[in-house]
């Protein structure tokens, strides 16, 4: 009996825009100047939000907050493809995705300030609340796709998570189910290379995370996650596959968490500063700005204008979040179940005193 | 109306509800082609097709997680965990997600789903096939816990559970699956969740039981002036019926097969003491399994509360 190779697999990597702002013209997505400007605005707004959130946390005005610094392109570039009609299942580090889909900024501030009303999104968006337990929402996304299929609803489902989630059992169970049922789910992983203090090479011996999809019978692709065009193209292809009935796709956005895990963490304890410096040069916004400048779409005045707009929006959102009436103690019980038990009603009376 | 055992009654409930409501989906390991390892879902795949009767991969967390996704999307999944002992990998999904999605989203998303699991001891099955860990689920706000005690209330409670707007853990006592037959009404027959049933009236002592222990409690009560309450829903339990009975009898014996410490009997006893202390004539008694892992077949009869042990408790409390 011979030894035969019965299967071989390829893992592609897609990169379009390099850190100097130079693009592979043949691979550039067909985005007009106006769309590129919108992408840029979302990136700048996401960073402005993030910076403000960090300073609000230091001032004690919001609670623990996970920064998205460095991951804006992966979040905005992917969300920019979406129509807002999809079902979306986010992890906890997705502020850029929320912003690009038009989730009200003040609700995001409200949530991170410990007011759960911020998790009740607008009814026109099917964005699931932030999933704090890592990777547990992967099966939720798969189940939503199963539900959509029963109803004959062709809308794809999008699921966001990080590199740490790929070590979890629910990642496996969800991916396995999605592959077995050929469900229209786009899995987007931001491999920011650090799950708090554990580097990705301690999460897995696999060379890429993208290749994990192959074992479940569907394609995985790695993209330069700091390249907003590459992210955009890969997610667009994945959505098209989902829409045409070709099943799930896994998009690994190779990026870097420039900040601490959260405001409660100190990354200097466990990772080398030269690594952070290396990635500073690969900044996702800087490279898009270089690209735009090269095309005559961006100069200093325009840059200032975009920044000012972003700061205004952030200021206004903070004002709105902080001036909203405080949540009432009764809310602790109000949404536990559709109806309160007699015991809960007594507890509600106690809380409302 | 016909004489059915509990397997047939649950099958009837599932079939009728799936016929009535296209949003009801059955999913789990071996529930389709095989009709479930206890044949509870026999014939449903042929009737409803594989989009509504889903043979899932072997993945309990994935099954519950996917059911959550379906429920928030707008369907009403009924997920089967093949045996209660295999539900533990799905704790995170049940506790961290199903139980709190309504709260987390401030009412924007809800999770109307049922998790069915065969449970309880005494069927000569391997390890982890005879668990009774119902109390763990009763501690978690946001989910209901329901245990039928016979074919008739199995049907009524399951219909009510499927129509409930929130997640329900529905525990089916395997020892009863084929033990008794009852007249089970066809069509709209619902047993309200959160309501206990007085299975036998009496004035001298209140015996509270559920699931497979109900039959033993009833057998033990023969010859005593005992009122036997079939709790039916553990969380939220029917305070009104329980307290009214305690006020009448002044004596309480709680029977469950799960271990003593932290069992649901503890919650009942504490609630009765909090509210009805002055009606009590003696201590609240519990007849339960010991604080031990449920043994395999050779020793299980020593583990499960027997009618004799229940009678001993009745004799003791009636001294007061």
CB atoms closer than 10 angstroms to residue A154: 12
Domains of chain B: 2-184 (3.40.50.970), 197-317 (3.40.50.920)
> Are A295 and A28 a contacting pair, CB within 8 Å?
no
% of residues, chain A, pLDDT over 70:
100
**Tokens (6 digits) for A94:** 């997705």
A270 catalytic, yes or no? yes
Domains of chain A: 12-328 (3.40.50.970)
**Tokens (6 digits) for B49:** 């097709």
- What value does the mean pLDDT take over residues A199-206? 96
- What value does the mean pLDDT take over residues B128-150? 97
End-to-end CA distance of chain A: 80
Residues of A in contact with B144 (CB under 8 A): 337
What pLDDT shows up at residue B2?
86
- What value does the mean pLDDT take over residues A270-275? 94
What pLDDT shows up at residue B154?
98
% of residues, chain B, pLDDT over 70:
100
What pLDDT shows up at residue B201?
98
pLDDT band at B318 (very low <50, low <70, confident <90, very high): very high
- What value does the mean pLDDT take over residues B29-44? 97
Question: How far apart (Å, rounded) are the C-alpha atoms in residues A159 and A84?
Answer: 13
> Are A163 and A209 a contacting pair, CB within 8 Å?
yes
Catalytic residues of B: 129
Cα–Cα distance list, B43 to A110, B34, B35, B47, B153 (Å) = 50, 9, 6, 7, 22
CB atoms closer than 10 angstroms to residue A124: 8
pLDDT band at A268 (very low <50, low <70, confident <90, very high): very high
pLDDT of residue A353 exceeding 90: no
pLDDT of residue B1 exceeding 80: no
pLDDT band at B297 (very low <50, low <70, confident <90, very high): very high
pLDDT of residue A50 exceeding 80: yes
Give ∠ CA B65-B68-B72 in degrees, rounded to 5.
150
Report pLDDT digits (tens) over B138-147. 999 999 999 9
What pLDDT shows up at residue B233?
98
Question: How far apart (Å, rounded) are the C-alpha atoms in residues B118 and B176?
Answer: 10
Report pLDDT digits (tens) over A257-266. 999 999 999 9
pLDDT of residue A1 exceeding 80: no
> Are B284 and B260 a contacting pair, CB within 8 Å?
no
Please report where in the chains the tokens 């999904």 appear, as a residue.
B93
**Tokens (6 digits) for B234:** 């553990």
Residues of B in contact with A351 (CB under 8 A): none
Residues of B in contact with A173 (CB under 8 A): 57, 59, 61-62, 65
Residues with Cβ within 8 Å of B182's Cβ and at least 6 positions away in sequence, in order, are B3, B4, B9, B150, B151, B152
A34: exposed, middle or buried (C-beta count within 10 Å: 0-12, 13-18, 19+)?
A: exposed
Report pLDDT digits (tens) over A215-230. 999 999 999 999 999 9
What pLDDT shows up at residue B52?
97
Q: Is the peptide bond before B236 cis (omega within 30 degrees of 0)?
A: yes
| Total-model pTM | 0.95
Cβ contact (<8 Å) for B62 and A147? no
Identify from A104, A141, A146 which residue to disrupt to test chain B contact, counting B C-beta atoms within 10 A and taking the largest count: A146
Mean of per-residue pLDDT scores for chain B: 97
pLDDT of residue B288 exceeding 90: yes
- What value does the mean pLDDT take over residues A105-129? 95
A261 catalytic, yes or no? yes
Report pLDDT digits (tens) over B108-117. 999 999 999 9
Residues with Cβ within 8 Å of B172's Cβ and at least 6 positions away in sequence, in order, are B6, B10, B40, B116, B117, B118, B119, B148, B154
């Amino acid at each position: 009996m011979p030894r035969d190779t019965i299967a071989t697999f390829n893992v592609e990597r897609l990169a379009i825009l390099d850190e100097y702002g130079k693009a592979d013209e043949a691979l550039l997505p067909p985005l007009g100047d106006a769309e590129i400007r919108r992408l840029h605005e979302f990136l700048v707004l996401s960073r402005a939000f993030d910076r403000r959130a960090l300073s609000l946390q230091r001032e004690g005005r919001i609670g623990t907050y996970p920064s998205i610094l460095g991951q804006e392109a992966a979040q905005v570039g992917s969300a920019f493809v979406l129509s807002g009609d999809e079902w979306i299942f986010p992890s906890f580090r997705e502020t850029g995705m929320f912003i690009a889909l038009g989730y009200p900024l003040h609700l995001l501030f409200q949530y991170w300030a410990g007011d759960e009303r911020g998790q009740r999104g607008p009814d026109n968006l099917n964005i699931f609340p932030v999933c704090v337990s890592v990777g547990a929402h992967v099966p939720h996304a798969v189940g939503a796709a199963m539900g959509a299929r029963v109803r004959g609803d062709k809308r794809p489902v999008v699921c966001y998570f990080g590199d740490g989630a790929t070590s979890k059992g629910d990642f496996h169970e969800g991916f396995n189910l999605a592959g077995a049922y050929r469900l229209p789910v786009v899995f987007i992983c931001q491999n920011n290379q650090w799950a708090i203090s554990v580097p990705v090479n301690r999460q897995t011996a696999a060379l890429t995370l993208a290749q994990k999809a192959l074992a479940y019978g569907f394609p995985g692709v790695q993209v330069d996650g700091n390249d907003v065009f590459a992210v955009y193209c890969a997610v667009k292809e994945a959505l098209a596959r989902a829409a045409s009935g070709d099943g799930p796709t896994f998009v690994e956005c190779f990026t870097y968490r420039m900040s601490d895990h959260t405001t409660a963490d100190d990354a200097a304890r466990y990772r080398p500063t030269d690594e952070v410096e290396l990635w500073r040069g690969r900044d996702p916004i800087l490279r898009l700005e270089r690209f735009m400048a090269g095309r005559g779409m961006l100069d200093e005045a325009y840059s200032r204008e975009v920044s000012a707009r972003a700061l205004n929006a952030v200021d206004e959102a903070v004002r709105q979040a902080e001036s909203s009436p405080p949540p009432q103690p009764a809310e602790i019980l109000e949404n536990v179940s559709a109806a309160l038990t007699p015991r809960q009603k007594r507890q509600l009376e106690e809380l409302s005193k | 109306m016909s004489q059915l055992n509990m397997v047939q009654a649950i099958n009837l409930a599932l079939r009728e509800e799936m016929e009535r409501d296209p949003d009801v989906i059955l999913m789990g390991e071996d529930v389709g082609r095989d009709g479930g390892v206890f044949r509870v879902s026999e014939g449903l795949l042929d009737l409803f097709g594989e989009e509504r009767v889903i043979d899932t991969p072997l993945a309990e967390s994935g099954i519950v997680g996917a059911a959550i996704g379906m429920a928030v999307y707008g369907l009403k999944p009924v997920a089967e965990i093949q045996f209660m002992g295999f539900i533990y990998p799905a704790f995170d999904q049940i506790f961290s997600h199903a139980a709190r999605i309504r709260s987390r989203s401030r009412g924007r998303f809800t999770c109307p789903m049922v998790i069915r699991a065969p449970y309880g001891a005494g069927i000569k099955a391997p390890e982890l096939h005879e668990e009774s860990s119902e109390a763990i689920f009763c501690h978690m706000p946001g989910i209901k816990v329901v245990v039928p005690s016979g074919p008739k209330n199995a049907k009524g409670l399951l219909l009510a559970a499927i129509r409930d707007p929130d997640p329900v853990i529905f525990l089916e006592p395997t020892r009863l699956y084929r033990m008794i037959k009852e007249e089970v009404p066809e069509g709209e027959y619902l047993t309200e969740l959160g309501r206990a049933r007085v299975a036998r009236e009496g004035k001298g002592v209140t015996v509270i039981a559920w699931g497979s222990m109900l039959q033993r409690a009833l057998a033990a009560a023969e010859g005593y002036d005992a009122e036997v309450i079939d709790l039916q829903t553990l969380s939220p339990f029917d305070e009104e019926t329980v307290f009214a009975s305690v006020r009448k009898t002044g004596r309480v014996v709680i029977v469950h097969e799960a271990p003593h410490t932290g069992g649901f009997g503890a919650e009942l006893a504490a609630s009765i003491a909090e509210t009805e202390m002055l009606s009590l004539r003696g201590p609240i008694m519990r007849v339960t399994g010991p604080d031990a892992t449920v043994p395999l077949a050779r020793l299980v009869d020593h583990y499960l509360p027997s009618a004799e042990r229940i009678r001993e408790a009745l004799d003791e409390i009636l001294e007061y």
